[in-house]
Amino acid sequence: MSKAIQALFSGMLVTFILDFFLFLGIKINYIDTHDINLYYNILFADNQNVFLFFLLSIILGYLIMYSPHKLSLSVLSIFSLLVLLTLIEPVGKMVGEYIFMQRNVTIQTKKFSYHGDIYYVGRTNVTFYDYKFKKILNLDKNQIVSEYK
């Protein structure tokens, strides 16, 4: 096997591990705290950016195979530390809010209008916090007519 392919596969393995812990921190500290009914596998699969995954895989694979060991160890340690920070509650919640939350949104369904925050847009439902009712609503995506800020 050529060294370039080994670099790509090594980078993919490291990137996969980093992604696992990133989404684990978001699942524990954002998804679960907002009582969003979502399995980890669905969260991981639906929100994986393929282009970013392969770009990071190529960069990390190159660092692992071709750079001095001190540099690659330093970069991997920094990435690992940043990703593992999502396991700390305030950091994981902040990252989850940055990625998923949309604040001050009005959603119009066929019968009602809701104003509040979108916590998560899933495959079939939108998890929404309504300001008027002061509770979390699960809205069916097929019933939503329009969404605007």
| Contact partners, residue 108, CB within 8 Å, separation at least 6 | 114, 144, 145, 146, 147, 148
Element spanning 75, H or E = helix 69-84
pLDDT tens profile 1-44: 788 899 999 999 999 999 999 999 999 999 999 999 999 988 99
Q: Which domains, ranges and CATH numbers included, belong to the chain?
A: 3-96 (no CATH), 101-148 (2.30.30)
* Single pTM value for the model: 0.89
pLDDT tens profile 36-62: 999 998 899 899 999 999 999 999 999
